C-alpha cells in the first residue's frame, strides 16, 4: 500500500473544508477523486503534498505518517504534484521548468538526460518548445509541462489536480491517454477531476466528494454506470 | 506586432554583446571599468559637481552607500520577491555596532566589521525565521515595524546615547598609507567600492547557481517551489540574511566615516528610498539597481542649488520616469526565448547553501 489517508480534517481558518475523509491509493493504481467545484478536491491534494496543514487525521505514505512533514521533504520521499492551474514557472524556459522538477534529487546530474528523454518521449511537443519560456506556452502545453516536470522527480505517487481544466476536447483526450501510459510504466496516480467521464474511464477506483465528505467509493467502472453519479456528474442521467 | 513588444532594451543588447565577447575583451573591459570607478573621486567636472558638498563626499555618501544597500536589498526584494520595508534596521545595527564597540573597546574598524556583519545577520535570522513564513503583505508590515522598533529602541536606551546618539566614533586605522580622516572621503570611498565589488561578485555567483534558481522559483510561485522540493523557508531566510549582512557592512563603514550617529538617521525614509532605488533601476537586475541607486542618490545632491523645490523636482522626475519606463531604467531581461548561453543548474555546478 502506497498512500493512505485516514479521517482527514482540514480547515481554512474556522471553515472546515475537509470533514473526515479516508482515501486509500494502492501501489500501481489510478485512483480518482471526483466532485463539483468547491467539494474539497484541491484541498485534499494540497494537504497530501504538505501545502496545507492537517487539523487532524493521518497521511500514511509507505508506512510512515507524513502528516507533519514539510512539503519539500514529502517531495523527496516520492510525492510529486501537477497543481491546479498548472503552476508553471512563467519566467523559466521549458528546460528550466523540467530541471526544477528534480531540484532536490540526489542523483539529479546522472539522471537528468535519461529523465528528459523520458518526458520528451511522452510529450514530444515539449522537446520542440524546449527553449521557450513557460508563460508563452499554450494551456495544453503548460499542462504537459506540469506533468512532465512532476515526472522528473521520479515520483512513486503522482498527484494530478484537474489536468483537463480549460483544455480543448482533443487535448483532454491526449492528456488522459498519457496519464494511462504513465500509470502503465509503474507510477501510482491520484487524479482529481471535475471531468468525471474521462476520469472514471481511466481510473481503477474512485471516490465521490461532496462538500468535504466522501459520499461514494467504488470501482470506477461501477460509478460510470451508477445512475445517481451519471445524473450528478456526467450530465447524462434521467433526462 | 512582435516588434512592438520587443522594445529596445539596453540591458539585453549589452548582455548579448558581453556574451559574444572573447575572454580577453571581457577581462580588459572589466579591468577598465573597475579602474574607472577607483579613479572616480579624481573626476573634476562641472557636470557632476555637487554644490553644497564636495563631489568626493557625495560619492561616498549617499551615492556609494545607496548603491551598496540597493544591491543588498535587491537580493531580498528583487531575487526572492520578499518585500522588506525595514531594511534600514540592518544598516542601523551595523552603525551602532561600530559606534558602541568603537567608543567602548579598543577594537578597531577592521575588527568590528565582522562583528557588525555577524550581528546584522543574527538579527536577520531572528526576524526572518518567524516572519518569512508569512505571505507578502504581512511580511511588509512586520519588516516595517522592525525597522521602526530598532530606531525607537535606540532612542530609548540612555546607555547608547538615547536620542542624542553616539559621538566620537573612531576612524579606521591607516591602510596602505591611506589615512582615514573626516577631511578626506576618498579612502572610505575605496573601501566602500571594494565591498561593493565583492558583493556584486557574490550575488552574480549565487544567481547563476542553485540558490539563484531557488529564489527564482520562490519569487514566481512559492507553493510550486515547495512541490519541487525547494526548502523555501531556508532560501528566503538566506536571502534575508545576505541582505542584512550587506547593510550591516555598510552601516559599520558609514559610522566610522561620519563619526557621530543619532537614531533619527535610521528612519523609515531610508528604507523607502533604498526600495525606490531598486524599483527605479529595474527590480531584479543588478546593473539596473546600481544605476538606479546612483541616480537617485546623486540627483538630489546635484540639484541642491534649487534648495527648497528640489525634492519636488526630484519627485516629479521620479513619477515621469516610472511612467515612461515602468519596469525601471534597465529592467530585468525579458526572456521570451531560451538563451543558449544561459548555464543550466547542472552545467554551472553546485554552490549549494548548506
Ligand atoms: N484559500 C482558501 N481560503 C478559504 N477557503 C478556501 C480556500 N481555498 C478553498 N477554500 C474553500 O474550501 C472548499 C474546498 O475548496 P477546494 O479544495 O478548492 O475545492 P475543489 O478543488 O474541489 O473545487 C471550498 O468551500 C472553498 O471555498
Ligand atoms: Mg480545485
Global ipTM = 0.94
**Amino acid B183: pLDDT:** 75
Contact A103 B213 (CB under 8 A): yes
- A109: pLDDT strictly greater than 90: no
Q: Do B335 and A99 touch (CB under 8 A)?
A: no
pLDDT at residue B191 above 50?
Answer: yes
Contact A136 B226 (CB under 8 A): no
Is A146:A86 a contact under the CB 8 Å cutoff? yes
Residues of A within 8 A of B211 (CB-CB) are none
Other beta carbons within 10 angstroms of residue B79's beta carbon come to 25
- Nearest-angstrom CA–CA distance, B49 and B206: 37
The pLDDT value recorded for residue B333 is 65
A147 lines ligand 1 (CB under 6 A): no
Centroid of ligand 2 to alpha carbon of A37 (angstroms) = 7
Contacts of A6 (CB under 8 A, 6+ apart): A22, A57, A58, A59, A60
Task: Yes or no: say if B214 and B234 are a contact pair by the CB < 8 Å rule.
Answer: no
Residue B336 pLDDT > 80: no
Average pLDDT, rounded, for chain B: 83
- Range of weakest confidence among A162-171, B172-181, B254-263, B303-312: B303-312
pLDDT at residue number B51: 66
B46: alpha, beta or left? (left if phi > 0; alpha if psi -120 to 50): alpha
Q: What percent of chain B has pLDDT over 90?
A: 41
Closest C-alpha to B90, from B151, B135, B138, B139: B151
Mean pLDDT of B64-76: 94
Phi-psi map region of A189: left, alpha, beta (phi>0 left; psi -120 to 50 alpha): beta
At B154 the pLDDT is 92
Q: How far is the CA of A211 from the centre of ligand 2 (A)?
A: 12
Sorted by where each starts, the structural domains of chain A and their CATH numbers stand as 1-72+191-239 (3.40.50.300)
Select from A96, A97, A135 the residue whose CB has the most chain B CBs within 10 Å, as the one to mutate to test that interface: A96
Distance separating alpha carbons of residues B296 and B67, to the nearest angstrom: 10
Q: How far is CA B180 from CA A56, B93, B118, B165, B183, in A?
A: 63, 22, 24, 22, 8
Q: Which strand (E) or helix (H) includes residue A124?
A: helix A124-128
Separation between Cα atoms, residue A115 and residue A109, nearest integer Å: 10
The verdict on B224 touching A (C-beta cutoff 8 Å) is yes
Q: CB-based contact (8 Å) between A53 and chain B?
A: no
Cα three-residue angle B41-B42-B44, rounded to 5 degrees: 105
Residues of B in contact with A93 (CB under 8 A): 335, 337-338
> Is residue B263 within 8 Å of residue B154, measured between CB atoms?
yes
CB-CB contact of B66 with B273 (8 Å): yes
Instruction: Tell me the average pLDDT across A221-232.
Output: 87
pLDDT at B343 over 80: no
* Helices (runs of H) and strands (runs of E) counted in chain B: 15, 0
**Cβ(B228)–Cβ(A101) below 8 Å:** yes
- What mean pLDDT do residues B241-258 have? 95
Cell triple for B185: 572621503
φ, ψ of residue A9 in degrees (nearest 5):
-125, 135
C-alpha angle with apex A38: A35 to A44, nearest 5 degrees? 75
Can you say whether the dihedral through the CA atoms of B221, B222, B225, B227 is positive or negative?
Answer: negative
What CA–CA distance (Å, rounded) separates B71 from B243?
Answer: 8
Q: Which of A70, A89, A96 sits opposite B221 (nearest CB)?
A: A89
* pLDDT per residue as tens digits for the range A2-19: 899 999 999 999 999 999
More confident residue, B175 or A143: A143
Neighboring chain A residues of B339 at a CB cutoff of 8 Å: 131
For chain B, say whether A110 makes contact (Cβ under 8 Å).
no
pLDDT band at B96 (very low <50, low <70, confident <90, very high): very high
Q: Name the DSSP class of A36.
A: -
The residue to mutate among A12, A33, A37, A39, having the most atoms of ligand 1 within 8 angstroms of its beta carbon, is A12
- Could B220 and A90 be called an inter-chain contact, meaning their C-beta atoms sit closer than 8 Å? yes
Q: How high is the pLDDT of residue B338?
A: 40
Question: Phi, psi at residue B70, to the nearest 5°?
Answer: -65, -40
User: Closest Cα to atom 24, ligand 1: which residue?
Assistant: A38
For residue B9, the model assigns a pLDDT of 66
Q: What is the mean pLDDT of residues A88-103?
A: 94
CA A30 from chain centre, in angstroms, equals 10
Could you tell me the three cell numbers for A92? 523559466
Distance CA B253, CA B94 (A): 8
Of residues A141, A143, A156, the one with CA closest to residue A82: A143
Q: Between B342 and B12, whose confidence is greater? A: B12
Q: Cβ–Cβ of A103/B220 closer than 8 Å?
A: no
pLDDT of amino acid B50: 65
Helix (H, G, I), strand (E, B) or coil at B49: coil
The per-residue pLDDT for B8 is: 61
Local confidence band at B328 (pLDDT 50, 70, 90 cut-offs):
confident
Q: What local confidence, expressed as pLDDT, does residue B347 receive?
A: 41
Amino acid at each position: 500500500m502506497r498512500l493512505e489517508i485516514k479521517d482527514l480534517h482540514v480547515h481554512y481558518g474556522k471553515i472546515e473544508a475537509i470533514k473526515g475523509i479516508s482515501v486509500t491509493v494502492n501501489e500501481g493504481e489510478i485512483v480518482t477523486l471526483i466532485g463539483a467545484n468547491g467539494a474539497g478536491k484541491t484541498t485534499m491534494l494540497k494537504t497530501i503534498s504538505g501545502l496545507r496543514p492537517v487539523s487532524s487525521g493521518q497521511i500514511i505514505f509507505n508506512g510512515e505518517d507524513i502528516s507533519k512533514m514539510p512539503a519539500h521533504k514529502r517531495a523527496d520521499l516520492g510525492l510529486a504534484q501537477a497543481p491546479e492551474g498548472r503552476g508553471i514557472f512563467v519566467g523559466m524556459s521549458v528546460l528550466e521548468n523540467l530541471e526544477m522538477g528534480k531540484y532536490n534529487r540526489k542523483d539529479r546530474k546522472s539522471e537528468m538526460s535519461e529523465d528528459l528523454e523520458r518526458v520528451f518521449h511522452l510529450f514530444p511537443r515539449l522537446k520542440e518548445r524546449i527553449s521557450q519560456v513557460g508563460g508563452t506556452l499554450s494551456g495544453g502545453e503548460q499542462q504537459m509541462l506540469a506533468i512532465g516536470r512532476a515526472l522528473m522527480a521520479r515520483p512513486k505517487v503522482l498527484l494530478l489536480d484537474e489536468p483537463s481544466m480549460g483544455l480543448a476536447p482533443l487535448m483532454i483526450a491526449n492528456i488522459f491517454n498519457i496519464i494511462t501510459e504513465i500509470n502503465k510504466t509503474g507510477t501510482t496516480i491520484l487524479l482529481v477531476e471535475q471531468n468525471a467521464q474521462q476520469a472514471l474511464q481511466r481510473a481503477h477506483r474512485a471516490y465521490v466528494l461532496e462538500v468535504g465528505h466522501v459520499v461514494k467509493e467504488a470501482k470506477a467502472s461501477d460509478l460510470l454506470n451508477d445512475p445517481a453519479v451519471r445524473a450528478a456528474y456526467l450530465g447524462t442521467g434521467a433526462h | 506586432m512582435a516588434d512592438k513588444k520587443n522594445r529596445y532594451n539596453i540591458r539585453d543588447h549589452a548582455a548579448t554583446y558581453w556574451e559574444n565577447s572573447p575572454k580577453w575583451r571581457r577581462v580588459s573591459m572589466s579591468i577598465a571599468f573597475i579602474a574607472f570607478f577607483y579613479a572616480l573621486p579624481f573626476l573634476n567636472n562641472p557636470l557632476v559637481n555637487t554644490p553644497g558638498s564636495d563631489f568626493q563626499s557625495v560619492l561616498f555618501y549617499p551615492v556609494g552607500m545607496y548603491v551598496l544597500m540597493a544591491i543588498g536589498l535587491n537580493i531580498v526584494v528583487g531575487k526572492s520577491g520578499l518585500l522588506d520595508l525595514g531594511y534600514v534596521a540592518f544598516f542601523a545595527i551595523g552603525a551602532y555596532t561600530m559606534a558602541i564597540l568603537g567608543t567602548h573597546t579598543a577594537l578597531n574598524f577592521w575588527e568590528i566589521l565582522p562583528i557588525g556583519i555577524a550581528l546584522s545577520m543574527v538579527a536577520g535570522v531572528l526576524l526572518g525565521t518567524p516572519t518569512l513564513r508569512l505571505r507578502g503583505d504581512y511580511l511588509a508590515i512586520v519588516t516595517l515595524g522592525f525597522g521602526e522598533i530598532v530606531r525607537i529602541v535606540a532612542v530609548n536606551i540612555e546607555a547608547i546615547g538615547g536620542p542624542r546618539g553616539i559621538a566620537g566614533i573612531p576612524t579606521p586605522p591607516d591602510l596602505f598609507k591611506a589615512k582615514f580622516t573626516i577631511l578626506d572621503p576618498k579612502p572610505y570611498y575605496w573601501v566602500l567600492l571594494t565591498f561593493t565589488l565583492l558583493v556584486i561578485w557574490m550575488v552574480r555567483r549565487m544567481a547563476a547557481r542553485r540558490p539563484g534558481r531557488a529564489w527564482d522559483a520562490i519569487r514566481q510561485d512559492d507553493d510550486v517551489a515547495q512541490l519541487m522540493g525547494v526548502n523555501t523557508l531556508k532560501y528566503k531566510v538566506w536571502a534575508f540574511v545576505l541582505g542584512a549582512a550587506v547593510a550591516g557592512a555598510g552601516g559599520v563603514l558609514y559610522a566610522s566615516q561620519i563619526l557621530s550617529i543619532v537614531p533619527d538617521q535610521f528612519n523609515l525614509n531610508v528604507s523607502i528610498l533604498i526600495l525606490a532605488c531598486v524599483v527605479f533601476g529595474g527590480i531584479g537586475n543588478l546593473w539596473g539597481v546600481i544605476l538606479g541607486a546612483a541616480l537617485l542618490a546623486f540627483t538630489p545632491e546635484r540639484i541642491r542649488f534649487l534648495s527648497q523645490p528640489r525634492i519636488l523636482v526630484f519627485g516629479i522626475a521620479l513619477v515621469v520616469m516610472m511612467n515612461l519606463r515602468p519596469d525601471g531604467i534597465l529592467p530585468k531581461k525579458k526572456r521570451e526565448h531560451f538563451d543558449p548561453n544561459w548555464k543550466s543548474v547542472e552545467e554551472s555546478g553546485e554552490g549549494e547553501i548548506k
